[in-house]
Amino acid sequence: MTEHFDEYDDMGQEKSKSQVKKELLELTALGQRLSKLPKHQWQDLPISATLKHALSEVAKINHHIGLKRHIKYIGKLLRNEDVDAIEQRLILDNQQHTLEVQREKLCEHWRDRLVSEGDDATFELLKVANNLDRQQLRQLVRNASKEQQLDKPPKYQRELYRYLRDHAAFNDE
């Protein structure tokens, strides 16, 4: 898409009506996506104050037709925005979120292995994440294992997970 909406393509030729309509529908779809994002996420986007205000108004609209009309208005405002920069930022945010989820799953995986396998898994983890404090890690693993054996609530398992999440710098395996 172009930075500013116009009815001419790169060659200076007039666009067909179907091409113009397709681009307008894409802008409306982007406006719909933006309206569903949490406020903190679109506050960081490279968009104008007018568009931010329009996005903040979406939460106040509870009538279906009014919401549909407001989304079209947001699409109209997007004509004057740098759509490529907005889409790139959304892709980057999505990639960061995916990496965070993968890291959380990795921490959960190691926590489960540490609790079930004990010292063998601890030494293996210390090879992969050598920045962890061996003594503190072993203490957390012992507490979590004992807690699991006694069928107690998973207080130390959660503590072990938080320690891994906050301190582990995993090297490439």
Q: Which is nearest to 31 in space by CA: 69, 65, 78, 63? A: 78
Task: Specify the pLDDT at position 15.
Answer: 77
Domains of the chain, each with CATH number or no CATH: 17-81 (1.10.60.30), 96-167 (1.10.60.30)
Q: Which is nearest to 136 in space by CA: 125, 128, 148? A: 125
Task: Specify the pLDDT at position 4.
Answer: 52
In this structure, what token pair is assigned to residue 73?
Answer: 């208005």
* Mean pLDDT value across residues 108-114: 91
Backbone φ, ψ for residue 82 (5° rounding): -85, 90
pTM above 0.85, yes or no: no
Task: Specify the pLDDT at position 5.
Answer: 55
Q: Is 62 helix (H, G, I), strand (E, B) or coil?
A: coil
Task: Specify the pLDDT at position 10.
Answer: 58
In this predicted structure, the answer to whether residue 63 has a pLDDT above a threshold of 60 is: yes
Specify the higher pLDDT residue, 1 or 10.
10
Task: Specify the pLDDT at position 50.
Answer: 92
State the Cα–Cα distance between residues 68 and 74, nearest whole angstrom: 10
Q: Which is nearest to 137 in space by CA: 108, 167, 117? A: 167
State the pLDDT confidence band at 73, using cuts at 50, 70 and 90: very high
Find where tokens 């309509």 sit: 21
| Per-chain mean pLDDT for the chain | 86
Q: Which amino acid is at 163?
A: Y
Lowest-pLDDT choice from 10-19, 35-44, 137-146 = 10-19
Cβ distance 148 to 115 under 8 Å?
Answer: yes
